[in-house]
Chains A and B, each alone.
Chain A
């Protein structure tokens, strides 16, 4: 199963990002292979609709789960319809690596 973790940077040591649609990077973690890849958020500066675009990206990347600080109503709507599980971690004082260790 693949999981997306919102991240402030493109390294495992980067800080976990609480915002979903406005996260700078998405870390894709594959539980089976243990591999990670980082994908830049191209819609971070869009005036509106960054959330739905991030949800779209999550589906494209084949994620079954997304971990972030919160999800806006528009993103939530699409993630629900795409059957992608949303997990809220309300603590940004962690690295992406810390989050991965939590779900391992």
Chain B
């Protein structure tokens, strides 16, 4: 607490110092220097921020769960105008601590950055943009849990930047990949695909380099389109990686779109992942990993309050369809319980930019008949 307080004080002092300097200098310098002074921005110093969500989930016929799902504190330090360190420390369910991001961004030119460290894999929308005030629904879309294992982050290095003339953003990274075998058992399985294989930068083992890239285009007014790709191979610990079936090849492709027209907004995402050698892996580990994972969702939303209001009350509906057994190898059969469909209907009440109340009702079913279940959710989310 003391440390946080001192950080806040240091941050404030730095801000104040920066502003005073600017004002004084402005009075006595030439016009060229004056422009220069204007550019100074925040030349160096600490950035503090964070996001969090406290949720209430009530599945049909079961007790409700009330949870501080996540509380994430962001710290940034700017060494100079071009080198910045960004980290996010995450507390999940109060007691689990993770580092969600920790990378150095080196800004080479206005359109080119080099990044290295623990970074988010750019796949789909939510893995990169997951603060609770910028998506509808108390829970994140399930596709972004079971097909894209949000929050998916690994250690890597790569390039990112923007091409302003064609309204595009690009990212290209080399990452460490999923751990498929820890020497005792296989970690990937049918029910949640790749999710349990995330290494999250914690004493992670690396035997294969993976590539991840994303291209975003926002040149059509109100529309943002994204194309993401991931290609590589999973990792297995030393000694294990020589054994056939310990590692699987992985290619993932994602398409996403977000559209806003006045008070109406819509978004959608399609993701498909192909896994090679899943048969060998299942044979070795006794698991039921599918050979293809697929999912999509569509969402439409409407803000019922006038534009001029600071507050927004957004009603939305979302349909999701995802399957972690979209295809399976020769030696296992498809588990229809892994083909899931969800409807979510609810609203997000943005009481201030950065603070939101959420409420929704979900119906969840699988490809097996008569499996529909309902769930009521409420939550409060913040981002600053």
Q: Do A and B bind each other?
A: no
Q: Which A residues contact B (CB, under 8 angstroms)?
A: none
